[in-house]
């Protein structure tokens, strides 16, 4: 299915798991990716690894475009946490749904909680969706350091979102979740 968003978190330096998750999510229809931290530099290191392995000039061009497909945030444990230009959270629209990507939910502000409907975060040991009032907190689980290495896929479904989680061997992890998004008419900015 087109328009899918791959969701990865907590790679912990495991570039093989990062690459396997990317390939799995692309095969499932992901065109863009949310990397909810857990080792901020892993995206750079993974792309550098792919550059070293590239053999054709066309591969180099594809790698230049690859980084632009990712929205990523920094985790508190990173030495880059707090650097200007590196965010601890990011906002993105999935259709008409405002989403916030963050590694640590403690980095969310009151305005984030008032405005966004879906929060993608790291730090979860397994894939999970928790609904609190009209908001959804979604974690894809961990690529490293958990009993199962998992990632997730978000797809638009008739104004709502479907989140599915997968083990790196392609097997589903859980039954999948439909996030029924309440319709809002305004955004609060203070």
For the stretch 2-27, pLDDT in tens is 589 999 999 999 999 999 999 999 99
Q: Count how many residues are written for the chain.
A: 190
Q: What is the mean pLDDT of residues 130-137?
A: 96
Q: Tell whether the model's pLDDT for residue 28 goes beyond 90.
A: yes
- CA distance linking residue 95 with residue 59, whole number of Å: 30
66 domain-assigned: yes
189 domain-assigned: no
Domain count, the chain: 1
The range of the structural domain enclosing residue 131 comes to 4-179
21 domain-assigned: yes
Highest mean pLDDT, choosing among 50-64, 83-97, 109-123: 109-123
Mean of the per-residue pLDDT values for the chain?
Answer: 91
Predicted pLDDT of residue 47 = 92
Is beta strand 135-140 parallel, antiparallel or unpaired with respect to 118-121?
A: parallel
User: In which band, very low, low, confident or very high, does the pLDDT at 175 lie, cut at 50, 70 and 90?
Assistant: confident
188 domain-assigned: no
131 domain-assigned: yes
User: In which band, very low, low, confident or very high, does the pLDDT at 33 lie, cut at 50, 70 and 90?
Assistant: very high
Closest-CA residue to 75 (of 49, 44, 48, 41): 41
166 domain-assigned: yes
91 domain-assigned: yes
Q: What is the DSSP letter of 47?
A: H
Closest-CA residue to 177 (of 135, 127, 119, 142): 127
Predicted pLDDT of residue 188 = 52
- CA distance linking residue 116 with residue 99, whole number of Å: 5
What is the CATH classification number for the domain harbouring 149?
A: 3.60.21.10
pLDDT in tens, 65-95: 898 999 999 999 999 898 988 989 999 999 8
Among 60-74, 86-100, 118-132, 157-171, which stretch is predicted with the lowest mean pLDDT?
Answer: 60-74
Q: Tell whether the model's pLDDT for residue 1 goes beyond 50.
A: no
Q: What is the DSSP letter of 123?
A: -
* Cα angle 123-41-6, degrees, rounded to a multiple of 5: 60
> Rounded to whole angstroms, what are the CA distances from 60 to 31, 53, 55, 72?
19, 10, 8, 21
Q: What is the mean pLDDT of residues 173-180?
A: 92
147 domain-assigned: yes
């Amino acid at each position: 299915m087109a328009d899918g968003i791959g969701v990865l978190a907590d790679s912990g330096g495991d570039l093989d798991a990062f690459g396997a998750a990317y390939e799995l999510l692309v095969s499932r229809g992901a065109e863009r990716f949310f990397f909810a931290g857990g080792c901020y530099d892993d995206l750079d290191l993974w792309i550098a690894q792919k550059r070293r392995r590239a053999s054709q000039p066309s591969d180099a061009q594809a790698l230049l475009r690859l980084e632009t497909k990712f929205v990523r945030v920094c985790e508190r444990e990173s030495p880059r946490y707090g650097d200007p230009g590196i965010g601890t959270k990011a906002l993105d629209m999935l259709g008409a749904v405002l989403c916030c990507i963050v590694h640590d939910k403690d980095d969310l502000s009151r305005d984030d909680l008032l405005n966004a409907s879906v929060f993608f975060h790291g730090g979860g040991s397994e894939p999970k969706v928790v609904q609190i009032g009209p908001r959804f907190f979604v974690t894809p689980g961990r690529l490293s350091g958990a009993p199962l290495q998992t990632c997730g896929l978000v797809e638009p479904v008739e104004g709502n979102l479907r989140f599915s989680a997968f083990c790196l061997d392609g097997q589903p992890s859980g039954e999948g979740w439909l996030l029924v998004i309440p319709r809002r008419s305004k955004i609060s900015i203070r």
